[in-house]
Chain A
């Protein structure tokens, strides 16, 4: 019987033998006696083959006897064998690696869980955009429409933007008009900058001719009379220009095509712009490209508004004109509220507006020598307004003064004599009427477009809510003198607006009103000699000493107006 000599096997064999000997006295005695050692109970006698190192319990060929002390065997068996130092070190290294691996595994598992959580909570960019869309963008709209019936028509200024009734002799004319159609888009991704884009509907008239098409063909113009879209407002507003200055903390710097300082402000003061224009809007546009500084100035614990201002520099051309001048137009409005206002128009206010500019012509044209510069002249506009506003009523008195601020283009912005616009009247009209009208058109040009004309206007306007009803009475009365340096100017007129408005809800208003342009002077024949002092020239073939029928007939209008503002 052979035993493997590995350490474990040998220890097991030794232990087996030892136990056998310990618990089998006969065998132990036999082995001990057979060995003939120093003591029968102190040594174990075995045999070893030196060549192979194998142990045997019986003698045999090539085996030599060997004696082992039993105590040594017992001690060796009682105490587990210590691995060599190198093995211990390797074992420690293995354990360390195992620990490091476990730690790494735990870390990876933790990271994996974290990643899984992040993926679960991850919000796509488009989702974030949609969720915050409402707080970063506002889209609104405004719509104004009317049905206007003209029992008496005449030449005169527009009552509303882009409505153009025909001239005298067309009583009964009526039209359904759209006078405003805004899409108001405001973007404010940050709390300090606002971007506004407002496309605006308008009626495209004139400026188009029929076109040839190929050798023998052609097509008619298609733009005149169409409703079209143009940019009304396009500006960026910086709302932190005076950050840190408490009194000016609501003020802004605005750059771009924007409301000018007076007209939009006065429209809101009046409140019925969907029914009629404010006075200076008949002379100047409500919107200009420019840069302004504006806002309220507040004081005190209640932060009442004591001053509201809008100061800016603009193109000479308005939002619907190409800028041609090398000069710029300055405008400023300052509204003072001596008792403080809780909101924009609250209580008593005193407002001053001043505008200073020049005609919108190129520098080379401006520099040509001329006795009377006409449209190249210096232009000024002034308005002094005293106004008082409560929740349910408002009244205002306005004085206007202007210099070269009213041309035949303003006087006849609705419609006027064909000759003013360089158009020949119908050949069906008797020639003497055409000639007299040409002389009258020249008269208007001489009196209002001579580079030294002065204007004056007196206005009273307001509104009053009828008790607890949703009805409001409103009105505007204006006397307008297009040329105050003319002794009796046949073009002087009074504009009257009176109506009642029904507030259907927060978004919709409907008004029924009467509007008129009254040329209040008695009919006159304007002396040619006096007209010539203003640069009047006789049209070809005109030989009269007076311009007959210098006062135009009145215009009467009944309107039904609608507003939807969102």
Chain B
């Protein structure tokens, strides 16, 4: 099950890479490439889940093996924290963009309203 999830994740990530790199078949290929050059996608932080790593040694620090690589517990904790921050940044950047896009297009359907509400809520929190 986990390998299936991982495979799906890889596929999603690959599709995202294809779209971001301008290799899609859509007509605005040039724009996509320009956008990529002006604002390169943030490098994804890979944070192995310690509970899915094998114990290498119980010492100081404790060492774990994940996907063939050995990490100290401190390194895994750091990666996990970095990944969490990155996700928070990505979430924060997505919400206002969706909101403004909806307003510019004048899409007054319920979906846009839902996004707008979410964006307002996020703004007020910030």
Please report A residues at the B interface, Cβ cutoff 8 Å.
138-142, 182, 184, 186, 267-268, 271, 273, 342-346, 389-392, 394, 465, 467-472, 503, 505-507, 565-566
Contacts and interface: CB of A to CB of B under 8 A. Distances in A.
Given A273-B58, A465-B51, A346 B65 contact: yes
17 contacts: A138-B60, A139-B60, A140-B59, A140-B61, A182-B60, A268-B55, A271-B54, A271-B55, A342-B69, A345-B56, A391-B53, A465-B51, A468-B52, A506-B62, A507-B62, A507-B73, A566-B60
Contact of B76 (A182, A268, A344, A506): A506
A353 B70 CA distance: 25
Contacts of A271: 54-55, 58
A391 B67 contact: yes
Given A467-B1, A472-B51, A506-B50, A343 B58 contact: no
Which 8 pairs across A and B sit closest by C-beta, in order of nearness? A140-B60, A184-B60, A470-B51, A503-B51, A506-B73, A342-B68, A271-B55, A343-B65
A391 B50 contact: no
Given A391-B66, A506-B74, A267 B58 contact: yes
B77 interface: yes
Contact of B68 (A343, A389, A472, A503): A343
A267 B1 CA distance: 29
B31 interface: no
Interface in B52-93: 52-62, 64-70, 73-74, 76-77, 80
A232 to B, nearest CB: 12
Contact of A141 (B54, B60, B64): B60
A506 B77 CA distance: 6
A394 B80 CA distance: 24
Interface residues of B, number: 29
B36 to A, nearest CB: 32
Contacts, number: 90
A346 B68 contact: yes
A286 to B, nearest CB: 11
Nearest to A343: B65
B5 interface: yes
Contacts of A142: 58, 60
A392 B55 contact: no
Interface string B98-110: 0000000000000
Contacts of A140: 59-61
Given A142-B60, A391-B67, A468-B5, A565 B53 contact: no
Contact of A344 (B62, B65, B67): B65
Contacts of B62: 506-507, 565-566
Contacts of A566: 60-62, 73
Given A468-B1, A565-B61, 12 more contacts: A141-B60, A271-B58, A273-B58, A346-B68, A391-B53, A391-B54, A391-B65, A391-B67, A472-B51, A503-B50, A506-B76, A507-B62
Nearest to A391: B54
B43 interface: no
Contacts of B56: 268, 343-345
Contacts of B52: 391-392, 465, 468
A344 B2 contact: no
A233 B61 CA distance: 15
A343 B63 CA distance: 11
Given A140-B59, A468-B5, A565 B68 contact: no
Nearest to B71: A506
Contacts of A469: 51
Which among A139, A141, A465 has the greatest number of chain B C-beta atoms within 10 A?
A465
Contacts of B60: 138-142, 182, 184, 186, 565-566
A266 to B, nearest CB: 12
Nearest to A273: B58
Nearest to B78: A506
B50 A468 contact: no
Nearest to A144: B58
A139 B74 CA distance: 13
B59 A184 contact: yes
Nearest to A509: B51
B29 to A, nearest CB: 37
Contacts of A343: 54, 56, 65, 68-70
A343 B60 CA distance: 18
